[in-house]
Amino acid sequence: MSSRNEADSMSPVRRALQPEPVMAAESSCWVYYHKPIIVMLIGGLLFAAGTVIAFLYFSRVGRVPYALGPVCLSIGLMFLVTGLVWVPVIKQKVRQKRLIREMYARRSAT
C-alpha cells in the first residue's frame, strides 16, 4: 500500500524515468501501438458491417431494422477516427519520454 502512495506522489519526470517492466523486456512497437491498432480494427469491422447492413436495408433484400445500419456506421467511424488520432499522441508521448531520459542522463553524467 505504501508503494502505491509513493508512486502517486512522484513527479512526472521521476515517473517517466522509472523503468517499466514491459519496456525492459520488449522494445517492440507493438507495446505502444497495440491498443490503437485494436481500436482501429474494431472500428473498421463495425464500419464494414454497417455498410453491408445499410445496403441490405436499402436494397430491400432482407428484413433489416431501419436504424441498425447507420448506428453501426457511426460507431465504427467513431472508433476508427479515435484510433487514427491516438497514434500521433502516442508518438509524441514516446518522443517526450525519450527526451526526458536523455536530458536526465546528461545532467547526471556531468
**Cell representation of residue 24:** 525492459
Cell of 98: 525519450
**Among the listed residues 49, 47, 68, the one whose alpha carbon sits nearest the alpha carbon of residue 57:** 68
Element (H, E) at 36: helix 30-58
Q: Is residue 2 part of a domain?
A: no
Please write the tens of the pLDDT for every residue from 49-108.
999 999 988 888 878 888 888 999 999 999 999 999 999 999 999 899 888 888 888 888
HSE (side-chain half, CA atoms, 13 Å) at 46: 19
With respect to residue 5, please indicate whether it lies within any of the assigned structural domains: no
pLDDT at 5: 57
What is the domain extent for residue 21? 12-108
d(CA 82, CA 5): 32
Q: What is the pLDDT of residues 2-27, one digit of tens each?
A: 455 555 666 766 666 665 544 444 46
Q: Residue 63: what pLDDT? A: 84
Q: Is residue 6 part of a domain?
A: no
Residue 49 located in a structural domain: yes
* Structural domains of the chain, count: 1
**Higher local confidence (pLDDT), 39 or 30:** 39
